[in-house]
Amino acid sequence: MAMVTIKDVARKAGVSVGTASQALRGSASVRDTTRRRVLQVAQRLRYQPSALARGLVTRRTHTVGLLISDIANPFFIRAVRAIEDLAQENGYTVILCNTDEDPAKEAQYLRVLMEKRVDGIVLATTAEALSIIRDIRRRRVPLVLFDRELPGVAADTVKVDGEMGGRLATEYLLSLGHRRIAIIHGPLVRSTGRERLRGYLRALEAAGMRPVQEYIREGNFKQDSGRDHTRRLLDLAAPPTALFCTNNLMTVGALQALHERGVRIPGDLSLVGYDDMEWWTLTHPPLTTVGQPVYDLGREAMRLLLLQMGAERRGRPQRMVLKPELIIRSSCAPPTGSFPRRAGGRGSLSRRERARG
Amino acid sequence: MAMVTIKDVARKAGVSVGTASQALRGSASVRDTTRRRVLQVAQRLRYQPSALARGLVTRRTHTVGLLISDIANPFFIRAVRAIEDLAQENGYTVILCNTDEDPAKEAQYLRVLMEKRVDGIVLATTAEALSIIRDIRRRRVPLVLFDRELPGVAADTVKVDGEMGGRLATEYLLSLGHRRIAIIHGPLVRSTGRERLRGYLRALEAAGMRPVQEYIREGNFKQDSGRDHTRRLLDLAAPPTALFCTNNLMTVGALQALHERGVRIPGDLSLVGYDDMEWWTLTHPPLTTVGQPVYDLGREAMRLLLLQMGAERRGRPQRMVLKPELIIRSSCAPPTGSFPRRAGGRGSLSRRERARG
DNA sequence: TCGCGGAATTGAAACGTTTCAATTTTTCGC
DNA sequence: GCGAAAAATTGAAACGTTTCAATTCCGCGA
């Protein structure tokens, strides 16, 4: 109940508080017999040092803050896992914060983390809580921007090349012969939203095609928007023959809408998703996606943070851009030209079905 | 850089430290004009109170620890999300710890959390770190056992009825006419592993059947074991006509093995999984599973913890058991009696395929 | 036995708050 | 304008560590 303090340990061991402290933390300037005595007493009393008191004087808490938009998004999970792994290996503990893409929550959490005097922060920012972030920089609290860039703020950044991801997917669809390619992209305020769209546009341009306004839809990176936009795309007079969804949740939404309308993949429509998840080999059909090295993303972010936290003086901010890759499974095929009238027939079967037929 | 402290604020506001403190925390016994002055100075100096110093004197950190085996397991995620949500609503912050089912890691983390003086702990225990858990109880640190029971430790517990889950799945398969029903269950050291198996056995018993040893396999709740055991089950001279996998990861593994062997679901073999995930409507075929109220599970755990943290004296430990439900999709059908020789034909098509035919 | 030098130990300041008894200031009724 | 009561403010202790200058201890050579 009443916590046992180092004072109790010192008294019972017949030694001053100073010595007890040294003994407990293994300083060389304490006699061996003394150290043993102290350690033994500490153990007997089940002494648990107070990290609060220690942090107060050492100015280190061995705690880092991690702010992401939503831990329930499978994309972030592996990154969180990587960050936690690396933190643990280095004696750090992680405070987890879901911002839900809400700038107010983000600012609020950042404030709390500052008050708790965390040693560093990994942040997937909404890009709309600038003032407090500037404050963090001013106070020289180690900070790594994760997954998303923040123009105007000089800080270590780890991200995946979104433009390349957009290009990869679009070029692939073009190479299959598609000309009516729709995209559901993310919010333009996020660098991820902007970049993937840019990649799509660049690829079209390189192919000498001009973008069609009604094939370009801004989603919000959540499942519903994937479903809604897909429905609307299908309702078009000239629906697309291929669809590119730029994050995992919107891809799930799109799949739902396609299933619900009985659209055959890739027979009627080719689909490229984003973010690889192992269960996407189990969907019907197995999905072709742009895969991001998520675990590495988290790992690198934490590595950079550890570097910052360890360094006396800070160097110039690093910027690290990882490469996505196209993972080809069976959700894409050349356009048949017969959609939206149902053509049926062999051409509309996925690889798996064909193997069985 | 040099942190601005309450002393600085007090000085600049021309007031004592005591008054500054009261003003900042909105005590009623400080004059309005004074309060405003202090607040204004604090804002101008960007004063950030130290949660460390405060925690030291108030003996409250507004931080809770959350220990689970693996955040990358989709089962836990929604629960984590619920816990974080509720924590945030109540002004608490969450420290996340992955134990990887490793008792040593669990003990280590619990020790760190105690040192950080967290106000409470939510724990999905490996059930093998007893001594430190006893210690936590002795120190009266609020604790809620989550998902798994711990015999011999009196603490609030929130879990799902595993036996009922086991029964539900097995009875359903029996009702379809299956007699050769295999189960891949979890480690018997975990209450979850034990209970689901018990449900399976009870259901068989109630149907007047005796368990067949080679249909009962102990997995480790990870994907690989699901795959390996499924392969071995398929290699049996008399393979089962139905398979019950008792967690999500092992179910994914089983699906992989079944796909790889070209086994048709539910034509050749009926499959019941565990834990509902929305993307299981997108698998081929959509999966019948035992769904657990995961979000509620987390929510209730955190609710109980908040109660404990708020209460002056503790009552007797609560035990809360939530109910699972069987979610019927299209991965089960009556046995055809023709497996392992491939029969093919209409009977082997899933609902979706049939709708298209 | 003395004195010396290094090793070990001590004691107190510092970290940044809150809390509360004691003190000072203000208000109010007369 | 006085005195008492109420309101506001002050100042210091307390929280539990680490750190470091100052002090004490110890063994050893002379």
- Residue A48: its chain B contacts at CB < 8 A? 111, 114-115
Sort out which chain B residues have CB atoms less than 8 A from A111's CB and list them: 48
- Whether residue A116 and residue B135 make contact (CB cut-off 8 A), yes or no, is no
Nucleotides of C under 7 A from a protein CB: 7-21
By C1' distance from the Cα of A22, the closest nucleotide is: D18
**What's the Cα-to-Cα distance from B42 to each of B10, B23, B76, rounded to whole Å?**
9, 10, 41
Query: Which residues of chain A are within 8 Å of residue B72 when distances are taken between CB atoms?
Result: 77-78, 81
Nearest to B72 among A81, A256, A356 (CB): A81
> Is it true that the peptide bond before A266 is cis, omega within 30 degrees of 0?
yes
Cα–Cα distance between B67 and B52 in angstroms, integer?
22
Which parts of chain B register pLDDT below 70? Answer: 1-2, 313, 337-357
**pLDDT number for residue B352:** 36
Q: What angle do CA A298, A279, A259 make, to 5 degrees?
A: 125
Q: Report the distance separating Cα B285 and Cα B269, nearest Å.
A: 12
The separation between the first and the last C-alpha atoms of chain A, rounded to the nearest angstrom, is 71
Q: What is the pLDDT of residue A194?
A: 96
Find chain B residues with C-beta within 8 A of A352's C-beta.
284
Confidence at residue B128, expressed as pLDDT on a 0 to 100 scale: 86
Tell me the per-residue pLDDT of A84-126, one tens digit each, with 9 for 90 and over.
Answer: 999 999 999 999 999 998 999 999 999 999 999 999 999 999 9
Distance of CA A72 to the CA centre of its chain: 11
Q: Does B169 touch chain A (CB under 8 A)?
A: no
Containing A146, the helix (H) or strand (E) segment is strand A143-146
A90 is near strand D: CB distance < 7 Å = no
Residue B339 has a pLDDT of 57
Does the nearest atom of strand D lie within 7 Å of B125's Cβ? Answer: no
- Is A50 near strand C, with its CB below 7 A from some atom of it? no
Tokens matching residue B310 = 């708020």
Predicted pLDDT of residue B127: 86
How close is the nearest chain B Cα to the Cα of A145, in Å?
20
DSSP letter (8 states) at residue A283: B
| Cross-chain residue pair B56–A61, CB shorter than 8 Å | no
| Cross-sheet strand order for the sheet of B93-98 | A319-322, A156-160, A143-146, A120-123, A63-68, A93-98, B93-98, B63-68, B120-123, B143-146, B156-160, B319-322
Q: Distance (Å, rounded) from C-alpha A271 to C-alpha A261?
A: 15
Angle between helices B103-115 and B130-138 (to 10 degrees): 20
Q: Is A71 exposed, middle or buried (0-12, 13-18, 19+ CB in 10 A)?
A: buried
Q: Å between A14 CA and C3 C1'?
A: 30
Q: Please state, in angstroms and rounded to a whole number, the distance separating the CA atoms of residues A173 and A252.
A: 19
Torsion of CA B196, B197, B203, B208, to 10 degrees: 180
Joined together, the tokens standing for residue B151 give: 């015999």
Q: Which residue is nearest to nucleotide D20 (CA to C1')?
A: A18
Please name the residues in contact with A223: beta carbons below 8 A apart, sequence gap of 6 or more: A249, A250, A252, A253, A256
Dist CA A156 CA B196 (whole Å): 48
User: Between helices A32-45 and A17-24, what is the axis angle to 10°?
Assistant: 90
Nearest partner of B310 among B138, B86, B54, judged by Cα? B86
Tell whether A46 lies on the interface with B, counting CB pairs under 8 A: yes
Tokens 């081929």 — which residue? Answer: B284
Cβ distance B77 to A78 less than 8 Å, yes or no, reads no
Q: Which residues contact B4 (CB under 8 A, 6 or more apart)?
A: B45, B46, B47, B48
* Cα gap A266→A263, rounded to integer Å: 9
Backbone angles phi and psi of A188, in degrees to 5: -75, -15
Q: Is the peptide bond before A335 cis (omega within 30 degrees of 0)?
A: no
pTM of the model: 0.90
Q: Please state the three-class secondary structure of chain B as a single string.
A: CCCCCHHHHHHHHCCCHHHHHHHHCCCCCCCHHHHHHHHHHHHHHCCCCCHHHHHHHHCCCCEEEEEECCCCCHHHHHHHHHHHHHHHHCCCEEEEEECCCCHHHHHHHHHHHHHCCCCEEEECCCCCCHHHHHHHHHCCCCEEEECCCCCCCCCEEEEECHHHHHHHHHHHHHHCCCCCEEEEECCCCCHHHHHHHHHHHHHHHHCCCCCCHHHEEECCCCHHHHHHHHHHHHHCCCCCCEEEECCHHHHHHHHHHHHHHCCCCCCCCEEEEECCCHHHHCECCCCEEEECCHHHHHHHHHHHHHHHHHCCCCCCCCEEEECCEEECCCCCCCCCCCCCCCCCCHHHCCHHHHHHC
Q: According to the model, what pLDDT value does residue A357 have?
A: 27
Contact between A73 and A288 (Cβ < 8 Å): no
* Burial annotation A137-176 (CB, 10 A radius, 16+ → b, else e): eeeebbbbbbbbbbeebebbbbbbbbbbbbbbbbbbbbeb
CB contact at 8 A, A248 and A73: yes
Q: Which stretch of DSSP H or E encloses residue A319? A: strand A319-322
Angle at the Cα of A79 from the Cα atoms of A91 and A127, rounded to 5 degrees: 105
What pLDDT does B337 receive?
A: 66
Q: Give me the pLDDT at residue B33, please.
A: 93
pLDDT tens over chain A, length 357 residues: 468 999 999 999 999 999 999 999 988 889 999 999 999 999 999 999 999 999 999 999 999 999 998 888 888 889 999 999 999 999 999 999 999 989 999 999 999 999 999 999 999 999 888 899 999 999 999 999 999 999 889 999 999 999 999 999 999 999 999 999 999 999 999 999 999 999 999 999 999 999 999 999 999 999 999 999 999 999 999 999 999 999 999 999 999 999 999 999 999 999 999 998 777 888 888 999 999 999 999 999 999 999 999 987 677 899 999 999 999 999 999 998 665 544 333 333 333 333 332
CB A304 within 8 A of CB A158: yes
